[in-house]
Chains A and B, each alone.
Chain A
Amino acid sequence: MSSITATKALRPIGTAGKLFAFGLDVGRGLFRRPFQTREFIQQAWFIASVTIIPTALVAIPFGAVIALQVGGLIKQFGAQSFTGSASVLAVVREAGPIATSLLIAGAGGSAIAADLGARKIREELDAMMVLGIDPIQRLVVPRVLACMLVAVFLNGLVSVVGVTGGYVFNVVLQDGTPGAYLASFTALAQLPDLWQGMAKALVFGLIAAIVACYKGMNAGGGPKGVGDAVNESVVISFMLLFLVNFIMSAIYLQLVPPKTG
Chain B
Amino acid sequence: MLLSAVQREKSAMGVEIKVEHLTKSFGKQLIWGDVTLTIPPGEICVMLGPSGTGKSVLLKTLIGLLKPDTGSILIEGTDIASCSEKDLYEIRKLFGVLFQDGAMFGSMNLYDNVAFPLREHTKKSESEIRNIVMEKMDLVGLVGSETKLPGEISGGMRKRAGLARALVLDPEIVLFDEPDSGLDPVRTAFLNQLIIDLNAQIDATFLIVTHDVNTARTVPDNIGLLYHKHLAMFGPREMLLSSEEPVVRQFLNAQRVGPIGMSEEKDADELEAEKGQDLPPLPPIPMQQMPSNGIARRSQQPPGEWCRANGVSPPPGSFMSSNAGLAPGV
Contact = CB atoms under 8 A, between A and B. Distances in A.
Contacts of A118: 106
Interface in B281-305: none
Interface string A117-146: 011001110111111111000000000000
A122 B102 CA distance: 9
A157 B98 CA distance: 47
Contacts of B117: 131-133
A131 B106 contact: no
Interface in B80-94: 89-90, 92-93
Contacts of A128: 105
B106 A129 contact: no
A127 B105 CA distance: 9
Nearest to B168: A131
Contact of B99 (A123, A133, A134): A123
A132 B101 contact: no
B103 A123 contact: yes
A133 B105 CA distance: 13
B146 to A, nearest CB: 19
Interface string B95-131: 1010111011110000000001100110000000000
Given A122-B101, A123-B100, A132 B89 contact: yes
Nearest to A138: B120
Given A130-B97, A131-B120, A119 B106 contact: yes
B92 A129 contact: yes
A86 B137 CA distance: 66
B100 to A, nearest CB: 7
B65 interface: yes
Nearest to B169: A131
A134 B103 contact: no
A250 B117 CA distance: 49
Contacts of B105: 119, 124, 127-128
A129 B65 contact: yes
Given A123-B99, A123-B100, A124-B103, A134 B89 contact: yes
Contacts of B162: 127
A122 B93 contact: no
B63 A130 contact: yes
Contacts of A133: 89, 117, 120
Contact of B106 (A124, A130, A132): A124
Contacts of B106: 118-119, 122, 124
* Contact residues on A (Cβ < 8 Å of other chain), bracket: 10 to 19
Given A129-B65, A130-B95, A123 B101 contact: yes
A130 B65 contact: yes
A128 B90 CA distance: 13
A127 B162 CA distance: 10
Contacts of B230: none
B60 interface: yes
Contacts of A129: 65, 89, 92
A126 B99 contact: yes
Contacts of B165: 127, 131
Interface in A170-197: none
A132 B65 contact: no
A122 B162 CA distance: 13
A131 B99 contact: no
A75 B244 CA distance: 96
A184 B267 CA distance: 85
A24 to B, nearest CB: 13
A132 B103 CA distance: 15
- In this complex, which of B90, B92, B103, B106 has the most chain A Cβ atoms within 10 angstroms of its Cβ? B103
A130 B103 CA distance: 11
Contacts of B97: 127, 130
B89 A127 contact: no
B169 to A, nearest CB: 8
A126 B89 contact: no
Interface in A48-67: none
A126 to B, nearest CB: 5
Nearest to A130: B97
B133 to A, nearest CB: 14
A47 to B, nearest CB: 16
Given A118-B106, A131-B92, A131-B116, A126 B65 contact: yes
Contact of B93 (A119, A124, A127, A132): A132
A124 B105 CA distance: 6
Contacts of A119: 105-106
Nearest to A134: B89
B56 to A, nearest CB: 10
Nearest to A34: B120
Contacts of A134: 89
Contacts of A126: 60, 65, 99, 103
Given A119-B105, A124-B103, A131-B117, 14 more contacts: A122-B101, A124-B104, A124-B105, A126-B103, A127-B97, A127-B103, A127-B105, A127-B162, A127-B165, A129-B89, A130-B92, A131-B116, A132-B92, A133-B89
Interface of B: 60, 63, 65, 89-90, 92-93, 95, 97, 99-101, 103-106, 116-117, 120-121, 162, 165, 169
Query: Which 10 A/B pairs are nearest by Cβ-Cβ distance?
Result: A127-B103, A123-B103, A130-B97, A132-B92, A132-B93, A123-B99, A131-B117, A132-B89, A130-B63, A133-B120
11 contacts: A122-B101, A124-B105, A126-B103, A127-B105, A129-B92, A130-B95, A131-B92, A132-B89, A132-B117, A132-B120, A134-B89
